[in-house]
Structure 1
Amino acid sequence: MSSGQWEVVGKNKKSQNGKLKQDDKKPPKSGPKLEDVVPHSQIKSFYSGMEIDDDRKPAKGKNGDKKGKKQEKKEPSKPKPPKTIEGAFELIDATELATIITTNKIRFSNAPLVWLKEVANFLNSKTQIEVDDPTFSQHPTLYPLSVVPEDIKTSLENVFQDAGKSNAQLFFDITLTALANDMSRGQSVNGHRVLLQILAKIYPEFCVASVPKSASLRNSYQNRPPIGLTLLWAFGQGGLSDFAIGMKAWQDLFLPVIELKNYSKYVVQYLSKLLDRHAMEAKVTQDQLLNMFDLVNSKRNGIPKDLSSDLIKQLNKYKDIYFNKSGNKLQVTFNQIMKKLPNQYLSGITLDPYNQVLVESLVDCLERDDSCNATWRQLFHKCSKQSATVLEYIDNHWSEVSPRLKSKSLKATVAQFKEVSADTLRGKKKDETIVKTNKICQDILDRMTSTRRFPWLWASFFLLVAICGLVAYDVSRVGGNFPKSATGKVFKDLGILEHSQHAWQKTLSTSARGYLWLETNAPIYYTNTIEFCKPYGQLSKDAFLIALKKASVLYENVKDYVVEKTPVVVSTIESYAPGLIDNVQSYTSAGITAVKKYSYDYYSLTADYLKTKVFVGDWAPEVLQNKTQTALNATRFHVSTYFHWFREQVHIYSEIP
């Protein structure tokens, strides 16, 4: 600028002949600095009020750096990622999910599988939570579907309905494979889990629609327990709503891996949950029961002892489900189960839990179908050792089993088996099993003919009260002196006091001896009377049951007739008086509501009044309870004292000639 004209800086100037000047090869010099032109004391005034727009430097004001730091903009804090599946689903925007579904339906209207895959990817991306327990054993049965918000769940169910059943089934198989593959890559699969649960809830049959493919997929990953358990968990979801589906999945997909250490516990736990969940409405056929016996018998020795015990418990539950819905025709079942027992005499500890379930099943057959006794008697020669096992079980559990069985039929069966045993014992060689069985039969027969304890305490009480009540009261008024009592004076005036005293002592002596005789012999006559009246009582019971069944049938017919004719009556009333029924129902509902309300109000008022005005002080519940307990203790003491006194008097008077 020394020449007073502008100069272009940064470009190479050429000479007139087109060659670069030698000075142009040097870098251009920068312009003069502000410090060289303006005095140092005035430099600060040039920067006063100026702001630097560079984002990397804080703005400075009059007060320097402190004010600049305060004027910095604070960035919004990022939301913390969820730590549970519940939290992840709560953060999902239902509107966003609905938009994705709608968009894919429009773009791929003829490709439902694309919609479903996009939904799966979306859910997996939003629920990236690590799962420690792939079977969710510490959570509710329907977890994680149970924590999905209702609006999201509704959207997912609707998209499956729109896709159609065939596409949904294909997607179910695809998702099972994707579940295993994604887990092997370490990716999140919680979205797959929820979608499989929803499909199993809508279409339970999908879980067992292709058992060979499912078994092949399970075998491919059974050496990787987290993936294998997750697949079993997915296969078992259909059983939560359908018992038959669950049992088929357990038998075909769960049971083959029960002997593997990492799977045994979950296989038994799933069966337990399945039986507990469907215990009331489930139904088991005879073939299914017998097949279950064989399956458990083949696997029970290949698992740990504690799990084997749990498996037998589940078999017992399965057996109970069968007998609860089996009806009263069980001769074939009895025959088949009897043949499943080992052909040997199982006594004491040799009767293992599995065979004990078989024996209990035979007892259930005898309880529900009395004709099974006839079937049993026909099997004596073919199944003598098995029959001995059953008889010993009945003898060892007599108090529990005998009330469930009909004594007449059981007595005939045991007596016939005893005869068969006696015929065998006449030979030269005596089988120890037959000897023991003969003793067991005799023990059972003795139990069935033994007398019940006669209630002699009550009989003696009423007898003596009837004979001596009035006289004892009269004598007690004069301190126990009979001649001074009203009865004694009358006897003295009549001249029969001495005779009456002698007669009284004789009466007491005779009554005491009679009481002791009754105490000894009354139980025998009581038992004979019961045995004589039992057939007539049974006949009356059968007649009552027949009448009850007829009444039940009549009730059902009347009920069906009323249900059938109710719509006709309602339509007739509506044609003649439109809206009458609705009005009556509304008034009735309002009346019932009012009655409930006022009843509750009056009940509350009465309860408050009794609590605050009546049952206070000496009438407080605690005081009344203490007084009642004291009175009961005193009564119990006096009754016990009287009983001992009475027994002493009986023995004293019984010795008087």
Structure 2
Amino acid sequence: MASNNGSAGKWEVVKKGKKSNSSGGGKNPNDKKPGGGERRALGESNQPSRAPLKISENLYDSTEKMGKKQNKEQVPPPSEPQNKKPLSSKPSKKSQSSNPVPSVTHKSLEEAFKALDVADLKQQLARSQTLFPNNPSVWVKDLAGYLNFNLTAPETEPTLSSYAHDYPYCLTGKELKGVIKGLIGRCNDSLPDFFDHCVCTMLRELDRQSGEPLHGYRVCIQAILQDKPKIATQNLPEYLEWLRSVQNRPVKCLTIMWALGQAGFYDLSQGLRVWLGIMLPVLGVKSLSSYAIAYLERLLLLHANLTKGFGIMGPKEFFPLLDFAFMPKNALSSSLQEQLRRLYPRLKVLAFGAKPENTLHTYLPSFLSRATPHCPDDMKRELLSCMTECLCVDVQSLGVWRQLYTKHLPQSSLLLNHLLKSWKILPPKLRKNLEETIQSFRVTNDEMKDTIESQDLQDCNNLCQNLQVKMRGHGFPWSRLFMVLLVFIAGFITHDIRSHGSFSDSTTALYLHNSGVTAVSQQAWSKITVYSKQGFRYDLTYDFISTTENIHTYKPYCRSYHLPGGCVYVDIRSLTCVFYFSSCVAFVYCFFLMCNFLLLLSRPGYSLYLKKAFPVI
């Protein structure tokens, strides 16, 4: 029991008490686990980390124990019997606190929350704060113990994957949520230890054959991380060590992953830190990989804006993901690999960051070393695409490539071949920047010819030559040549006609007549005229017939809807005239086009040909 002045430094402990403390599992302050820092709850399970907490324990864990040790281990202050009297005068409450009897199990967690007495919770928390005014850790532990004792519903699978991301905290009512938030807000300094306490207690309950449901601790974990998600990432190395130590217990591992992963639903950067620090190292474990990828998918879908996750992932974390996504026959199943490959584009955006023009050159060495001629086709395409992006976006990548060229000739050959094939779609800026790099490769190839004779070196040399040809010229301009010839021919014919006064006297007409082109063109023109006239006549006839049929078809429908008389009666002749007029307009338009074309090829008496071709006119 604490003294009235509330000072932890004025306790008097006899020799037997010291022995009890040492036998009770107290650890030497100098005996720390690696990476433990100031949070020792992971190494000490449920043992608190501060001296006052070693004496004043949780009401729901050791009220009776404290009463028994009062006269044996401590010298109580004079006013302590008054503080102890209310506890001893209520044996029913003491029995409930020290040896809690589980209440009736509810059918669902929703029913358990409805049956929870918030007023009683407030009373218990007020009592805890009165007994231990300077120990906020006891307050929050009493909160977790009360919630876990009363939320007696069947336990589901440890990851709660079939529920919302904030389940079961989303089931808390407004009043209960206010009580939880209010108490947590007053215990900011104790929250890291309280978080570790909740995780350790959950794992300890999993060791018991008839362990209690863990809903209360889950609610407290979510309430903590909703406002302070960084608490979950302050001690990741020790959690990873702990996770690996219980790797043969999948339920425990999934419980740890679930607890730490709650931070990511409220802060993308913290969620990525948890995933990269805890879940990525165990991605190859068959029993854990499914939840790890499912959590990553939910995390990226929940945070559509990826900008808050920039700067968390680097080359060290990105390339293991690349290997898992594209390398065949790895530790992931085909379905999980396909699921990870769907997430890969967003992971690449997160890895490249907000300023890829300053970071992509750090990725090029790993991309280049993986692009071997024997790597899978899907991975080869992705690597070549990423290396091209590095060269396009980050100018420093060209310098990195020049440094790695001599030690990566097969990979450089693949990249040079890819650049040659995609030369037309490369940005002009990259084409210009490649000139110096390709020239440097040519010089290096000439220097290495005397010492190294390999097919890769020869391939690189040939590709460099072809790229230099591409740089110096863009191929033969056939389209431009065709346009120049067309303009030249048109200008020559125009000059010939003006020089001789008319087309019939020109050298061009004489040449066409002697070669037989004029006769053939006139014959073809006659056939075109005949078939055009037949087509126009058929079009007029078809329009007349179809118009008449449509009128007879829709006229009864118009009458059935009692339309006005002017709409019911349709003059067949007037509609026929409209169609005939439109066809005539089209015919006249085509006639003028024909006349303009014929004017260029006709002789002085071209009007006679027009009258023969169009007798109607």
Give me the TM-score of the superposition, normalised by structure 2.
0.53
Aligned-pair distance for 1:174? 1.1
Look up the equivalent residue of 2:278 and give its one-letter code.
L
Please tell me whether residue 238 in structure 1 is matched to residue 240 in structure 2. no
Please tell me whether residue 264 in structure 1 is matched to residue 266 in structure 2. no
1:338 is matched with 365
Q: Does the CA contact (< 8 Å) of 2:226 and 2:263 recur in 1?
A: yes
Distance change (3 Å), C-alpha of 1:360 and 1:138: farther
Look up the equivalent residue of 1:113 and give its one-letter code.
S
Which of 168, 173, 176 is matched with 1:152 structurally?
176
Question: 1:132-151 alignment to 2 at 5 Å?
Answer: 132-151=156-175
Give the 3-state SS of the residue equivalent to 1:262 in structure 2. helix
Q: Does the CA contact (< 8 Å) of 1:135 and 1:229 recur in 2?
A: yes
Q: How many residues align?
A: 405
Structure-2 separation of matches of 1:275 and 1:421: 46
Distance change (3 Å), C-alpha of 1:341 and 1:451: closer
Structure-2 separation of matches of 1:414 and 1:227: 56
Q: Percent identity?
A: 22
Aligned-pair distance for 1:141? 2.9
Distance change (3 Å), C-alpha of 1:111 and 1:362: same
Q: Deviations over 1:96-155 (max 9, x none)?
A: 544443444345433433332332233224433334432232333333333433432232
Look up the equivalent residue of 2:248 and give its one-letter code.
N
Distance change (3 Å), C-alpha of 1:147 and 1:645: farther
Q: Does the CA contact (< 8 Å) of 2:148 and 2:217 recur in 1?
A: yes
Distance change (3 Å), C-alpha of 1:209 and 1:334: closer
Which of 200, 205, 220 is matched with 2:230 structurally?
205
Aligned-pair distance for 1:246? 3.0
Question: 1:518-557 alignment to 2 at 5 Å?
Answer: none
Give the 3-state SS of the residue equivalent to 2:504 in structure 1. helix
Q: Does the CA contact (< 8 Å) of 1:183 and 1:189 recur in 2?
A: no
Q: Deviations over 1:361-414 (max 9, x none)?
A: 4333322223433443344334433322322344455676x2486221134434
Structure-2 separation of matches of 1:209 and 1:89: 31
2:198 is matched with 175
Q: Does the CA contact (< 8 Å) of 2:261 and 2:271 recur in 1?
A: yes
2:139 is matched with 115
Q: Does the CA contact (< 8 Å) of 2:205 and 2:211 recur in 1?
A: yes
1:387 is matched with 412
Please tell me whether residue 105 in structure 1 is matched to residue 124 in structure 2. no
Structure-2 separation of matches of 1:223 and 1:398: 53
1:279 is matched with 306
Q: Deviations over 1:258-317 (max 9, x none)?
A: 2221001222333444455362222227xx513214655797744435545655665653
Q: Does the CA contact (< 8 Å) of 1:323 and 1:364 recur in 2?
A: no
Distance change (3 Å), C-alpha of 1:180 and 1:430: same
Aligned-pair distance for 1:193? 0.9
Which of 352, 373, 380 is matched with 1:347 structurally?
373
Distance change (3 Å), C-alpha of 1:102 and 1:349: same
Q: Name the stretch that deviates more: 374-383 or 305-314.
A: 305-314
Q: Name the stretch that deviates more: 88-97 or 257-266.
A: 88-97
Look up the equivalent residue of 1:408 and give its one-letter code.
K
Give me the TM-score of the superposition, normalised by structure 1.
0.50
Q: Deviations over 1:203-240 (max 9, x none)?
A: 22321333454345434543332232121110122233
Q: Does the CA contact (< 8 Å) of 1:121 and 1:191 recur in 2?
A: yes
Structure-2 separation of matches of 1:84 and 1:432: 71
1:304 is matched with 333
Aligned-pair distance for 1:166? 2.5
Question: 1:448-459 alignment to 2 at 5 Å?
Answer: 449-450=473-474
Give the 3-state SS of the residue equivalent to 2:357 in structure 1. coil
Q: Name the stretch that deviates more: 87-96 or 205-214.
A: 87-96
Q: Does the CA contact (< 8 Å) of 1:201 and 1:238 recur in 2?
A: yes
Structure-2 separation of matches of 1:339 and 1:252: 21
Structure of higher CA gyration radius: 1
Look up the equivalent residue of 1:326 and give its one-letter code.
K
1:502 is matched with 504
Distance change (3 Å), C-alpha of 1:290 and 1:323: closer
Q: Deviations over 1:431-465 (max 9, x none)?
A: 22233334544555566644699999xx99xx9xx
Distance change (3 Å), C-alpha of 1:130 and 1:149: same
Look up the equivalent residue of 1:338 and give its one-letter code.
P
Please tell me whether residue 329 in structure 1 is matched to residue 331 in structure 2. no
Structure-2 separation of matches of 1:134 and 1:440: 57
Look up the equivalent residue of 2:354 and give its one-letter code.
K
RMSD, aligned CA: 5.0
2:346 is matched with 317
Please tell me whether residue 129 in structure 1 is matched to residue 153 in structure 2. yes
Look up the equivalent residue of 2:214 and give its one-letter code.
V
Which of 193, 204, 225 is matched with 2:250 structurally?
225
Distance change (3 Å), C-alpha of 1:228 and 1:441: same
Q: Does the CA contact (< 8 Å) of 1:243 and 1:274 recur in 2?
A: yes
Give the 3-state SS of the residue equivalent to 1:280 in structure 2. helix
Structure-2 separation of matches of 1:294 and 1:428: 34
Look up the equivalent residue of 1:200 and give its one-letter code.
L
Structure-2 separation of matches of 1:203 and 1:650: 87
Please tell me whether residue 434 in structure 1 is matched to residue 463 in structure 2. no
Look up the equivalent residue of 1:346 and give its one-letter code.
T
Look up the equivalent residue of 1:109 and give its one-letter code.
P
2:20 is matched with none
Q: Does the CA contact (< 8 Å) of 1:316 and 1:357 recur in 2?
A: no
Which of 291, 315, 330 is matched with 1:290 structurally?
315
Q: Does the CA contact (< 8 Å) of 1:283 and 1:322 recur in 2?
A: yes
Q: Does the CA contact (< 8 Å) of 2:368 and 2:412 recur in 1?
A: no
Look up the equivalent residue of 2:191 and give its one-letter code.
A
Q: Deviations over 1:324-344 (max 9, x none)?
A: 4135335xx52663266438x
Look up the equivalent residue of 2:243 and give its one-letter code.
R
Q: Deviations over 1:21-47 (max 9, x none)?
A: xxxxxxxxxxxxxxxxxxxxxxxxxxx
Aligned-pair distance for 1:159? 0.7
Q: Which 5+ residue runs of structure 1 have no aligned equivalent?
A: 1-79, 468-495, 511-617, 619-633
Q: Does the CA contact (< 8 Å) of 2:369 and 2:411 recur in 1?
A: yes
Distance change (3 Å), C-alpha of 1:305 and 1:156: same
Please tell me whether residue 372 in structure 1 is matched to residue 397 in structure 2. yes
Distance change (3 Å), C-alpha of 1:81 and 1:500: farther
- Structure with larger RCO (C-alpha < 8 A, sep 6+): 2
Which of 212, 220, 227 is matched with 1:195 structurally?
220
Q: Does the CA contact (< 8 Å) of 1:257 and 1:264 recur in 2?
A: yes
Distance change (3 Å), C-alpha of 1:297 and 1:420: same
Structure-1 separation of matches of 2:176 and 2:385: 49
